[in-house]
DNA sequence: GTACTTATGCTCATATCTAGCATAAGCCGG
DNA sequence: CCGGCTTATGCTAGATATGAGCATAAGTAC
């Protein structure tokens, strides 16, 4: 229980904590970052080394006195741990449930960050394939192979319950995985992950409850603590946000083709888009302009290069959720 | 920086109430609630008494050991301070900037809550008129009287700056207040409040900086600390959310007419809606059903009474942002 | 030059949103 | 009982956005 166990504040709490708890508790505040980028291999997430059971973890650290703002604290920790400076940063969610009775409470404030380029430019940092942690979220080449098995596993879990619970579970499964009639809603990433967790189909569930995982389907590479839940929250938020805010450009280089843009939109949302429509949408919004140059890297007809016009957007960073 | 261990949150708990990080940081975690309801007089927000300069404050209190979850902590504090039990609760944002050098850091987790009925049923609690704090946000009867003067005040503030800053300020004003061409976007509540704060046009700005407020326009009743900012965040989120989630029903009685529903939607969003279109939208979504009864309270033709069908929605509470 | 690849532009059908108008069905004062 | 008032309810035309397919342009590889 020593230094090796990274976020084990909970276990280290001394008795004084509980004794005086009625006064308002001893609370540790942690900052976590889901840093997303994109390279030739696809969407990536930045991971730091961790101790806990060897599972990789998000970059994170405690809130410190020098941090003028929470956001500054996140930037500082990520850069210290991975060398990666952050561009766009936005608060995601604050997690603070009491983990186990008798353990010390820990509040974790999770952030989403987007950076340009990943392994290409900064191979030192620990970039991982985003979809390695959520294989069932990638529908770019049609329904993932694991999805049928996954549904069966979930079905079994629903069957195990009493009729009341069972109906509720079936409804939630249908809503999250788009079963009857409804179609796949790519934004419900967290809903899906939570179902899998409750159903005991992800490794974290087995770890936290000390029982074996009975999943036959591939439910992805686990992360330390509740970091995969944070990642799910981040992906869901990002998938929703790219539809109404120009966040995509935070991932793009200075110059790009419309198809580059589309590839990234598809990679993040996990679904294929109709090319002419995507192009029309982008051009109609007035957020980009031609640079006048062409890209000959296409393999076919050269594509016009565009640049983002940040003047258009004057969103204030941070809490504009 | 003795500890290089990236995730060394393992700091000793040393005081009864707060954590001393080795950098000397102590953190208190507070919970705040923006509780919104609706009565005959319009939209209301629940306020608790406060000490600070006599300004009213949101119900709030420190996170305690008994609170199993953050949300449970919020419910507990609101009920303790105002007697009001909460229904729908959703996390809003976590504020944690260092207020003044030398002061202890405080992290505040703000929640949005919706309850049915306000002064009607529970006159003891401190319900205040929501738009008393944001008079310029109520466009139900056309542009508020203060808006022209407000724009002039903001204009003056922009003029005061150097040309670079000035352009930025003008752009932000135009974006937030919908000046040239753009029309009023009712969701940008926080953006507007922050502009007014920066421009020194709200009482909190004068209070925090110790200088006089030069506003000629009515910029609303101030709240303690940064509570009006939280309220602005809540209103913005709520205005956005009623468009794509059935949150409106959290404010409604069991039975209501379509026009009742519309009045509340208008009260929250601060703009008038087209009656036939609102009605069509509500009826097409399948979220409500007729009870078979009629309301004769209309003053004209009696209106059909409806009830909400919660079976339809199986949103998980909490983090489904 | 021919085959292949990707970019780009256009059109049509379908949903959704906006706005105005017409009718229904209660109340009220005579 | 009647006309005038109020509010509820229903319909429809036009504008705008979305979804999907097809035709053409302009490079590369052989």
| Distance CA B248 to C1' D11 in A | 27
Co-location of A214 and A277 in the same domain = no
Co-location of B55 and B85 in the same domain = yes
Co-location of B141 and B195 in the same domain = yes
Which two tokens mark B250?
């959290």
Residue B107 within any structural domain of the chain: yes
Task: Evaluate whether A257 touches A306 at the Cβ level (below 8 Å).
Answer: yes
Query: Which of A111, A16, A104, A125 is CA-nearest to residue A63?
Result: A111
For chain A, positions 118-177, list CB contacts with chain B under 8 A.
168, 171-172, 175
Task: Evaluate whether A238 touches A113 at the Cβ level (below 8 Å).
Answer: no
Crossing angle (nearest 10°) for helices B258-269 and B275-285: 110
Residue B51, judged by CB atoms within 10 A of its CB (0-12, 13-18, 19+), counts as exposed
Strand C bases, protein C-beta under 7 A: 4-11, 17-21, 24-27
Range of the domain at A155: 135-220
Contact of A237 with chain B, judged by CB distance below 8 Å, is answered with: yes
User: What is the per-residue burial (b if ≥16 Cβ within 10 Å, else e) of A42-59?
Assistant: bbbbbbbbbbbeebbbbb
Contact flag A107-B105 (C-beta cutoff 8 Å): no
Contact of B103 with chain A, judged by CB distance below 8 Å, is answered with: no
pLDDT tens digits, chain B, 321 residues: what are they? 333 333 333 332 222 223 333 333 568 899 999 999 998 889 999 999 765 567 899 999 999 988 999 999 999 999 999 989 999 999 999 999 776 666 778 899 999 999 998 766 565 568 999 999 999 999 999 899 899 999 999 999 999 988 888 988 998 898 899 876 668 899 999 999 999 999 999 999 999 888 888 889 999 999 999 999 999 999 999 999 999 999 999 999 999 999 999 999 999 999 999 999 999 999 999 999 999 999 888 888 899 999 998 765 544 433 333
Low-confidence stretches of chain A (pLDDT < 70) are 1-26, 50-53, 99-103, 119-125, 180-182, 311-321
Distance from CA of B68 to the nearest CA of A (A): 6
Which residues on neighbouring strands pair with residue A35, listed in sequence order? Answer: A113
Co-location of B115 and B173 in the same domain = no
Co-location of B158 and B116 in the same domain = no
- Nearest Cβ partner for B320 among A5, A97, A190: A190
- A105-114 and A27-39 strand pairing: parallel
Domain of B275: which CATH number?
A: 1.10.10.10
Task: Evaluate whether A266 touches A275 at the Cβ level (below 8 Å).
Answer: no
pLDDT at A211: 85
Please spell the DSSP secondary structure of A101-155, one letter per residue: TTSPEEEEEEEEEE-S--TTT-TTSEEEEGGGS-GGG--BTBS-TTHHHHHHHHH
Distance from CA of A90 to the nearest CA of B (A): 11
Residue at a domain's end among B91, B126, B161: B126
Residue at a domain's end among B80, B103, B126: B126
Q: What separation in angstroms does the CA of A275 have from each of A137, A252, A253, A261, A272?
A: 21, 18, 20, 11, 9
Question: Does nucleic acid strand C have an atom less than 7 angstroms from the CB of A302?
Answer: yes
Residue of A nearest to B61 (CA): A24
Three-state secondary structure call for residue B125: coil
Co-location of B81 and B171 in the same domain = no
Contact of B79 with chain A, judged by CB distance below 8 Å, is answered with: no
Distance from CA of B212 to the nearest CA of A (A): 26
Domain of B71: which CATH number?
A: 3.90.79.10
Residue A313 within any structural domain of the chain: no
Question: Does nucleic acid strand C have an atom less than 7 angstroms from the CB of A263?
Answer: no
Half-sphere exposure of A54 (CA within 13 A, CB side): 2
Q: How many domains does chain B have?
A: 3
- Nearest Cβ partner for B191 among A19, A168, A316: A316
Contact of A1 with chain B, judged by CB distance below 8 Å, is answered with: no
| Distance CA A39 to C1' C20 in A | 53
Co-location of A118 and A168 in the same domain = no
Co-location of B108 and B33 in the same domain = yes
Residue A267 within any structural domain of the chain: yes
Which two tokens mark A126?
């620990």
Co-location of A276 and A173 in the same domain = no
The sign one gets for the Cα dihedral B198, B201, B205, B206 is: positive
pLDDT at B299: 83
Residue A160, judged by CB atoms within 10 A of its CB (0-12, 13-18, 19+), counts as exposed
Co-location of B156 and B178 in the same domain = yes
Co-location of A108 and A142 in the same domain = no
Residue at a domain's end among A220, A242, A263: A220
Contact flag A9-B6 (C-beta cutoff 8 Å): no
Co-location of B122 and B153 in the same domain = no
Residue A37 within any structural domain of the chain: yes
- Nearest Cβ partner for A6 among B7, B11, B63: B7
Residue A237 within any structural domain of the chain: no
Residue A3 within any structural domain of the chain: no
Contact flag A7-B7 (C-beta cutoff 8 Å): yes
Cα B189 from Cα B238, distance rounded (Å): 10
- Nearest Cβ partner for A18 among B65, B91, B320: B65
Distance between start and end Cα atoms, chain A: 38
Residue A234 within any structural domain of the chain: no
Nearest protein residue to nucleotide C21, judged by CA and C1' positions: B276
Residues in B touching A193 (Cβ below 8 Å): none
pLDDT at A239: 97
Strand D bases, protein C-beta under 7 A: 5-12, 18-22, 25-28
Cα B124 from Cα B86, distance rounded (Å): 15
Name the DSSP class of B316: P
Residue B122 within any structural domain of the chain: yes
Three-state secondary structure call for residue A59: coil
For chain B, positions 166-225, list CB contacts with chain A under 8 A.
168, 171-172, 175, 190-191, 194
Pairs of residues, one from chain A and one from chain B, whose beta carbons lie less than 8 Å apart:
184
């Amino acid at each position: 229980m020593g230094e090796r166990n990274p976020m084990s504040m909970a276990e280290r709490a001394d008795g004084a904590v509980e004794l005086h708890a009625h006064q308002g508790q001893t609370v540790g505040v942690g900052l976590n970052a889901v840093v997303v980028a994109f390279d030739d291999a696809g969407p990536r997430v930045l991971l730091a080394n961790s101790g806990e059971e060897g599972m990789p973890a998000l970059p994170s650290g405690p809130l410190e006195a020098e941090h003028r703002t929470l956001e500054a604290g996140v930037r500082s920790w990520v850069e210290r741990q991975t060398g990666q400076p952050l561009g766009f940063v936005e608060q995601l969610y604050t997690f603070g449930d009491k983990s186990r009775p008798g353990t010390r409470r820990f509040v974790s404030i999770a952030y989403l960050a987007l950076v340009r380029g990943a392994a290409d430019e900064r191979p030192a940092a620990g970039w991982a394939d985003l979809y390695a942690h959520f294989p069932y979220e990638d529908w770019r080449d049609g329904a993932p192979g694991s999805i049928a098995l996954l549904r069966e596993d979930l079905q079994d879990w629903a069957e195990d319950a009493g009729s009341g619970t069972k109906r509720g579970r079936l409804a939630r499964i249908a809503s999250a995985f788009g079963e009857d009639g409804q179609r796949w809603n790519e934004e419900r990433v967290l809903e899906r992950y939570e179902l899998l967790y409750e159903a005991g189909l992800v490794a974290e569930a087995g770890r936290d409850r000390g029982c074996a995982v009975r999943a036959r389907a591939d439910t992805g590479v686990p992360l330390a603590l509740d970091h995969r839940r944070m990642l799910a929250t981040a992906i869901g938020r990002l998938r929703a946000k790219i539809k109404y805010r120009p966040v995509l450009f935070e991932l793009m280089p200075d110059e790009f083709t419309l198809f580059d843009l589309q590839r990234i939109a598809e990679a993040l949302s996990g679904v294929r888009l109709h090319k002419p429509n995507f192009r029309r949408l982008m051009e109609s919004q007035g957020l980009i302009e031609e640079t006048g140059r062409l890209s000959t890297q296409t393999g076919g007809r050269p594509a016009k290069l565009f640049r983002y016009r940040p003047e258009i957007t004057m969103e204030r960073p941070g809490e504009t959720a």
